[in-house]
Amino acid sequence: MKHGHGILYAVRKLCVLAILSAGTAYADDPTKAPSPSRATAVATFAGGCFWSMEYPFDRLSGVITTTSGYTGGREQNPTYEKVSSGGTGYAEAVQVTYDPNVVSYEVLLDVFWHNIDPLATNEQFCDEGTQYRTAIFYATPEQQALAEASKLKVHEEFDKPIATEIVAAGRFYAAEEYHQDYYAKNPTRYKSYRAKCGRDQRLLQLWGPPQ
């Protein structure tokens, strides 16, 4: 190697090391460094009380954020008070922002199904009303096709009508701040609610022990 080329190579190497050292978690393994412009996608699911739908997705690698909110209704700017009283057409839902290069939509669908009762119409566990219906709100034709295929598999597994709707995504309104990450902010109250609601017992009956 010529001397000039050797200097240039050394400078480039130092620059790469400097960039990697900016994120210490990746300094020893540049293959794990995050992309500067990470691609993201959005999935929206209604599975009854949105408090109970954030955690299953939050724990997945590749999920960037989860947001509790309302979708599927008619009026603008819905509030928890209005939605929870019924009659607005809205469903409590969770919007999942994720990196499709890390976690697939199929995996998100699988997590969704295993955290709901797909046989219940307009209710989930102890919560009753159309606001607690289950639904998959697809954002693209690909999401629609995958959602319909997954619903067919669930139907074949139970051999019973599946109440979960598959509908085009509309406007999503984030719920009030105190609802966001409720399971983490208020763990004692959340665990008490979940136990009294019988969610885990019913999921065990439907799907068996968590994987």
Enumerate the active-site residues.
49
Alpha carbon of 186 to those of 74, 80, 134, 180, 196: distances in Å?
31, 18, 24, 10, 16
> Environment class of residue 1 by beta-carbon count within 10 Å: exposed (0-12), middle (13-18) or buried (19+)?
exposed
In the chain, DSSP finds a helix count (H) and a strand count (E) of 8, 8
- The beta-strand segments (E) located in 38-139 are 41-47, 63-71, 91-98, 123-124, 127-128, 134-138
- The beta-strand segments (E) located in the chain are 41-47, 63-71, 91-98, 123-124, 127-128, 134-138, 165-168, 173-174
Amino acid at 192: S
Is the distance from CB of 45 to CB of 136 less than 8 angstroms?
A: yes
Contacts of residue 209, Cβ cutoff 8 Å, sequence gap at least 6? none
Task: Give the residue carrying structure tokens 């008070």.
Answer: 81
Q: Find the distance separating the first CA and the last CA of the chain, reported in whole Å.
A: 55
